[in-house]
Amino acid sequence: MEARKNCRIGVYICMCGTNIAKIVDVEAVARFVSGLPNVVLARTYKYMCSNPGQEMITQDIKENQLSRVVVAACSPNMHERTFRSALRSAGLNQYLLEMANIREQCSWVHKDTKEATEKAMALVYAAICRVELHDALESMSVDMCPNTLVIGGGIAGMTAALELADAGNSVHLVEKNNHLGGNLARVDLTAPYLYSARDLLTERITRIMDHKKVHVYLESKVTELTGYIGNFKATIRLINGKPSEENKPVEVEIGNVVVSTGYKEFDASRIIHYGYGKLPNVITSFELEKMIRAGRIETKEGKIPRYVAIIHCVGSRSQEFHTYCSRVCCMTALKYASEIKSANPACYISDIYIDMHAFGKGHEDFYRQSSEAKTLFLMYEKDDRPVIHKASPKDDCEMLIEVNEKLSRELIEIPADLVVLMVGMEAREDSHEIARIVNISQDKDGWFIESHPKLEPVATTTDGIFIAGTCVAPKDIPDTVAQARAAAARILARIAKGKIEVDAVYSEVNEEKCSGCRFCNQLCPYSAIEFNEETRHSYIISALCKGCGVCVAACPSSAIKGRHFTDQQILAQVDGLFYEIEDVKQKTLG
């Protein structure tokens, strides 16, 4: 493997404040690489990803006619796009860049400065060996269909649909129930300002049903999604309808998909301590909502309860069930205390909690108001749940609740005529099927996984598929609406361009070598490889391919090549890693 001759390489070593420079002697690394063949210049800078750092790279490319760039900094996941943009600004092909990760893979995992510096030299040298073999790849573009599919007709789905439709684009909104509104349709008032959920939904549902650009499919589901970003085809079927000419599956062409399928509540009967399903007056939060919407809070016997107990974190924050917090339960419990007290001022309310999470705007004030309304707050340990049992005839209540109260360190008995279990959120039972259809991933709890939890909170690893609302993780209404609008904004930005640029890093099949074994078809995690029955060869849909390299490694005929990750490039990088730094220094000096 010969390095390309006449390469003019610029090497840029980032200090990352003290993240790198505290352990790695970046100036020593710069001196080392400056004497290597084809390296025209080597610079250090405090924050290479900053605007001045990028401008330095752009200026050097122009003034020194650089043909390759190596940036030694943090992970490429963080800033490879940033530095590619700098190359484009200078008129240099963006794929003639290589990054050496000397932060996560070096400074953050070492304590010895000498060893860390030598390792950084090896990583940078390996990057130089590799970048010499880089090709000037060209990105491709595909047409963007302006239509969008929204799966789920809750507050998130309706918000996304209206944002897109109001911009003049057709939206296909699919809902499996016979009505829109999702879980919010089961709620009376919303915390902390006690706005009417019905009013929030009525306005959106009316706009949706009257909007000429929104096509609503009730009691329906998406059964198939094929294609790639900008050019998807979705099949929508009625769930319970009998096959007929009117009820036949509908095929729609779309460019993007928003998944907003929501959540389901935890099954409280799984926790035997609470007696749900056995004690008639132990109910869930949604059953209480039903009572409130009907205008009467009462026991199963039709009596007005004198004592009401509200128990938090039912199914949440538990090693046995779900370790995560469902986020909305604490404020919803305070809302119930307020509503019960308004309906029955003489009622004694006990609020039994693990921790009180008042994280949102207005929530701390709402908590204070509940305290002033004489709600009794009792704290229990996460793994020491309260126990509910039926009271004896001599007690003036239906049930007694035993609580190991954390603050007083006493075992306290609380009377209750009605017990409300604040059931947590969990992923829907059909979330696995949805994930399979739209080709996105789920975490261990069944929630859909975003492309990046902080930088890409509504995107997924499959281009063109966006997620919003409580199908991603538990969240309240403002966060759900914000995510839905964020997803719509991302889609509108793509629609405005008319075309979508596809990364030039993808795999290619050499048909002359392909034996038609179809191993790659089965292994591809992005469903990007299909089989041509006529030629008996596999081929790769470049717009779907993510360049992960699974097919390249698995192909028994070596018929697949990964662009930007060729065998020659990888082997050159490996060789560079295993060179002894002292030998490289001597060769350079010699």
DSSP assignment of 127-170: HHHHHTT------EEEE----EEEE--SHHHHHHHHHHHHTT--
- Exposure string of 315-334, with b = 16+ CB inside 10 Å and e = fewer, is bbbbeebbebbbbbbbbbbb
Q: Band of the pLDDT at 1, cuts 50, 70, 90?
A: very low
Beta strands in 406-553 (DSSP E): 410-416, 418-423, 425-426, 465-467, 499-502, 507-509, 529-532, 537-540
- DSSP output for 40-59: EEEEEES-TTSHHHHHHHHH
CATH 3.90.1640.30, applies to 268-423: no
Q: Band of the pLDDT at 103, cuts 50, 70, 90?
A: very high
**What pLDDT was estimated at residue 288?**
97
**What pLDDT was estimated at residue 241?**
61
Average pLDDT for residues 110-123, to the nearest whole number? 96
Between CA 53 and CA 62, with CA 58 as vertex, the angle to 5 degrees is 145
**Each residue's pLDDT tens digit, 73-102:** 999 988 999 999 999 999 999 999 999 999
For the packed helices 581-589 and 26-34, what is the interaxial angle rounded to 10 degrees? Answer: 50
Please state, in angstroms and rounded to a whole number, the distance separating the CA atoms of residues 228 and 572: 34
SS3 126: helix
Give Cβ neighbours of residue 441 (< 8 Å, ≥ 6 apart).
Answer: 435, 448, 449, 460, 461
**Each residue's pLDDT tens digit, 221-265:** 999 999 999 999 999 999 876 665 667 899 999 999 999 999 999
SS3 183: helix
Cis, bond preceding 192 (omega within 30 deg of 0): yes
Comparing CA positions, the residue from 149, 358, 167, 386 lying closest to residue 258 is 149
**Each residue's pLDDT tens digit, 148-176:** 999 999 999 999 999 999 999 999 999 99
**What pLDDT was estimated at residue 2?**
43
**pLDDT at 289 > cutoff 50:** yes
Please state, in angstroms and rounded to a whole number, the distance separating the CA atoms of residues 323 and 30: 47
Quote the CATH superfamily of domain 148-263+427-500: FAD/NAD(P)-binding domain (3.50.50.60)
**What pLDDT was estimated at residue 587?**
58
Domain range list for the chain: 9-137+567-589, 148-263+427-500, 268-423, 507-562
Indicate if 148-263+427-500 has the same CATH topology as 9-137+567-589.
Answer: no
Tokens (6 digits) for 67: 């043909």
**What pLDDT was estimated at residue 244?**
57
Please state, in angstroms and rounded to a whole number, the distance separating the CA atoms of residues 244 and 251: 16
CATH 3.40.50, applies to 9-137+567-589: yes
**What pLDDT was estimated at residue 230?**
94
Average pLDDT for residues 406-417, to the nearest whole number? 94
The residues that bridge with 416 in the sheet, in sequence order, are: 399
Strand order in the sheet with 39-45: 39-45, 9-14, 68-73, 97-101
**pLDDT at 4 > cutoff 80:** no
C-beta separation of 413 from 400 below 8 A = yes
The residues that bridge with 310 in the sheet, in sequence order, are: 351, 420
Percent of the chain scoring above 90 in pLDDT? 87
Average pLDDT for residues 535-559, to the nearest whole number? 93
**Each residue's pLDDT tens digit, 491-521:** 999 999 999 888 899 999 999 999 999 999 9
Instruction: Name the CATH code of domain 507-562 (choices 3.40.50.11540, 3.30.1300.10, 3.30.70.20, 3.30.499.10).
Output: 3.30.70.20
